[in-house]
Amino acid sequence: MPRIRAVLFDMDGVLIDARDWHYEALNRALKLFGFAISRYDHLVTFDGLPTRKKLEMLSREQNLPVRLHGFLNDLKQVYTTEIVHARCKPRFQHEYALSRLKAEGYRMAVASNSVRASIELMMEKSQLRDYLEGIVSNQDVTQAKPAPEIYLKAAAMVGAAPAECLVVEDNANGIAAAQAAGCPLLVVQDVGEVTYDRIAARIAALNATAP
Ligand SMILES: [Mg+2]
């Protein structure tokens, strides 16, 4: 296994505690038309999927009219932006982790199933944007996670082979994407587990097995 040269972060649930924001924003939009998803379904089935995928699933399972998808997608985006402006703040532990990793020479990128505008806004509001080489959104690929494309593109962006990129992920779709791309993983439960110490320890363990 090659030595780790880069760190690729998922965004929601890893750098940004946005699961509830996406849930709230989508439900606010759905409620206008008498539809809803439960918090349980959102956590178990929908978390980490792009909005358009969630809408396709709702059309199959709850007969949500397909002609509403475009409007609901736009409205959900407006609501998400409102919530982000109100609640997205810098988190010292993440600023410390990313600044120290950057100082140590690791190249970093965010690879997320969210749309580009949301990622840019959240990275800006949390003051992490300057540490990143770039961002790969669901609009930059033909297949979102769990397909490997987002991580393959992010690896190319940081100029490293997938096997040289540590991926930090929190859910099944993202883990599947990273594994399919051939990237080693650090799996976290939530944003609180994303610390310099954990990332450095995982990199050291992976490097210890390098030839
Ligand atoms: Mg996630």
Residues 102 and 112 in one domain: yes
The Å distance, Cα 126 to ligand 1 centre, comes to 16
pLDDT the model gives residue 43: 79
Distance 159 CA to ligand 1 centre (A): 23
In whole angstroms, give the CA distance from residue 119 to residue 110.
8
Q: pLDDT band at 196, cuts 50/70/90? A: very high
For residue 114, the CA-to-ligand 1 centroid distance in Å is 10
pLDDT of residue 19: 81
The model's pLDDT over 3-26, given as tens digits with 9 standing for 90+, comes to 999 999 999 999 999 888 989 999
What's the pLDDT at 176? 97
Across the chain, what does the average pLDDT equal? 94
Distance 172 CA to ligand 1 centre (A): 9
For residue 182, report the distance from its CA to the centre of ligand 1, in Å: 18
- Judge residue 171's burial from the number of C-beta atoms within 10 Å of its C-beta, 0-12 exposed, 13-18 middle, 19 or more buried: buried
pTM as predicted = 0.88
Let me know whether 191 and 136 are in one domain: yes
Q: Are residues 129 and 167 in the same domain?
A: yes
Domain that holds residue 115: 6-17+89-208
Average confidence (pLDDT) over 136-149: 96
Long-range contacts of residues 56-63, Cβ cutoff 8 Å, at least 24 apart = 58/30, 62/35
Q: What is the pLDDT of residue 1?
A: 60
Residues 173, 198, single domain; the answer is yes
What angle (nearest 5°) sits at the alpha carbon of residue 118, between those of residues 19 and 174?
50
| Span from the CA of 43 to the centroid of ligand 1 (angstroms) | 11
SS3 of residue 12 by DSSP = strand
- Output the CA 132–ligand 1 centroid distance in Å: 18
| Residues 69-82: b if buried by 16+ CB within 10 A, e if exposed | beebbebbbebbbe
At 37-93, the pLDDT tens digits run 888 888 778 777 888 999 999 999 999 999 999 999 999 999 999 999 999 999 999
Q: Which of 28, 56, 87 is the last residue of a domain?
A: 87
Asked whether residue 25 is domain-assigned, the answer is: yes
Same domain (yes/no): 81, 97 = no
Q: Supply the pLDDT for residue 201.
A: 98
- Look at residues 87, 110, 143 and tell me which one is the last residue of a structural domain: 87
The CA 165 to ligand 1 mean position distance, Å, reads 17
pLDDT of residue 144: 94
Residue whose pair of structure tokens reads 């959240």 in the numeric block? 122
Q: Per the structure, how many domains does the chain have? A: 2
35 has a pLDDT exceeding 70:
yes
Tens of pLDDT along 92-138?
999 999 999 999 999 999 999 998 999 999 999 999 999 999 999 99
Task: Return left, alpha or beta for 95; rule: phi > 0 is left, psi -120 to 50 is alpha, else beta.
Answer: alpha
Residues 169 and 204 in one domain: yes
Q: How far is CA 118 from the centre of its chain?
A: 11
Mean pLDDT of 180-204: 98
Question: What is the 47 CA–ligand 1 centroid distance (Å)?
Answer: 7
- Centre of ligand 1 to C-alpha 211, Å, is 31
